[in-house]
Amino acid sequence: MEETHAFLDRFYMSRIGIRVLIGQYLSLRQQPVESYIGLICLKTSPYEIVKRAIDDAAFMCTRKYGDAPEVIITGRLDLTFPYVPTHLHYIMLELLKNSMRATVDWHGIDADYPPIKVVIADGKENEDVVIKVSDEGGGIPRSNMKRIWSYLFTTADPAIQEGMVAFNENVDHSIDSPLAGLGYGLPISRSYARYFGGDLSLMSMEGHGTDAFVYLTRLGNSREPLPI
């Protein structure tokens, strides 16, 4: 199984690299867009991207449960840095979807949900831009912590995976995908973060909630992590 997971990590990392190269080439052949060099936005705003991800995740959560928890954003709301906005949106949407689903499932439908908290951290001496997503959705059992990075592992209804195992970017990157259940959201989000030298990690307290940390490097000095 470990060999399978290692193969999938290499496969998806290569796939991300190919998509970036093709997307960058095609974007550079189009009319220039202010503050963009191809796919890269020189003034990517984590705050604006998180807000869009909140709207998308809340729509998907409301579609399934009829309601969605509030999300509070704090920290460096004025921060901008060079990055690929679509990559960051994918990562944040996955984390917020997971947090909203966990919160609703843990507290029950029509409950008074505790807010999900997003903190954007950065400083002049910081190596990374770090975004933390904290929820009070009951946490993850310690026995499942290693399995959350496995492809197709999910705590949602396994029936959701039927007929949707194949990676379909037209569904996976849109609000038409299910709120949860496909199983590859977290490992692919980590691959997106790692592609430019960042990372994604989770800390969980079973019976309380989960903290997710997204580490993002400012583009400019990162080397592509070519799979071996």
pLDDT digits 0-9 by tens, 154-204: 655 554 444 444 445 554 555 555 544 445 789 999 999 999 999 999 999
Kindly report which listed range (38-47, 65-74, 118-127, 150-159) carries the lowest average pLDDT score: 150-159
The residue with tokens 């290569």 is 14
What's the mean pLDDT when you consider all of the chain? 86
- Give DSSP secondary structure letters for 137-161: S----GGGTTGGGSTT--SS-GGGG
| Per-residue pLDDT at 224 exceeds 90 | no
Q: Give the pLDDT confidence score for residue 39 in this predicted structure.
A: 95
∠ at Cα 46 (69, 67), nearest 5°?
15
Do residues 28 and 36 make contact, with C-beta atoms less than 8 angstroms apart? no
Q: Give the pLDDT confidence score for residue 2 in this predicted structure.
A: 80
